[in-house]
Amino acid sequence: DIVMTQTPLSSPVTLGQPASISCRSSQSLVHSDGNTYLSWLQQRPGQPPRLLIYKISNRFSGVPDRFSGSGAGTDFTLKISRVEAEDVGVYYCMQATQFPLTFGQGTKVEIK
Amino acid sequence: QITLKESGPTLVKPTQTLTLTCTFSGFSLSTSGVGVGWIRQPPGKALEWLALIYWDDDKRYSPSLKSRLTITKDTSKNQVVLTMTNMDPVDTATYYCAQLGIAAAGTFDPWGQGTLVTVSS
């Protein structure tokens, strides 16, 4: 199984300041079709997960442009350029390059 | 608009079999490339993928739970059913179904609201 490791597990951030979450996979996430199936999901309190970013850096429909994804191979990053109150929640990276599909442990973003 | 909704018992006893139904709208599971998956989340813990079924009836399971899981689809009813045998209190979780692969390749969106299943005698 591909293990997804997120850091930090908790990120207290001041409103308006940036936040960054790292996700490292135990194997390369480059698929044989040339794509890298690494996505980021946001889970607000009491809500189901919501897709933010897919294939490393593609922002999903309706996602604010303060969210961006980057990386390659085994190292990936989600950045929030200026944290807003509605960004509070837990963020998960997920890989779909290889079965079984796996998620990171989650990173809790909270306001200082 | 694509929606998914999970349904099933909220309480099951240890050793019983859990049957969950995902009823969806806004897409067809006979469309090439489409899949529906099940993911669970124990209270306060991370997401765990369980199973996935594709439009062509290809089925994939989490290796750690494979012996206990069965996923099926009824295209005419727009439903996907997950059964999990021999339930244990550690299986207490919110169970989600989600669509794979139309608007965003290689990931799940949208998700259902989830259904909390408690395993207790």
Convert the pLDDT of each residue in B6-18 to its tens digit: 999 999 999 999 9
pLDDT of residue B71: 98
Residue of A42, A52, A67, A101 for testing the chain B interface, max B β-carbons within 10 Å: A101
CA distance A103 to chain B (A): 6
- Per-10-residue mean pLDDT, chain B, length 121: 97 98 96 95 98 97 98 97 98 97 86 98 96
Chain A environment of B71 (Cβ under 8 Å) = none
State which residue of chain B sits closest to A101, comparing Cα positions.
B49
Taking the CA of residue B40 as centre, how many other CA atoms within 13 Å lie in the half-sphere pointing to its CB?
Answer: 19
The size of chain A, in residues, is 112
**Distant-in-sequence, close-in-space partners of A46: CB < 8 Å, separation ≥ 6:** none
* Interval A36-94: pLDDT, tens: 999 999 999 999 999 999 999 999 999 999 999 999 999 999 999 999 999 999 999 99
The Cα–Cα gap between A86 and A79 comes to 15
Q: What is residue B104's predicted lDDT score, i.e. its pLDDT?
A: 81
Amino acid at A88: V
Distance from CA of B37 to the nearest CA of A (A): 10
Parallel/antiparallel/unpaired status of strands A107-111 and A10-13: parallel
pLDDT at B101: 77
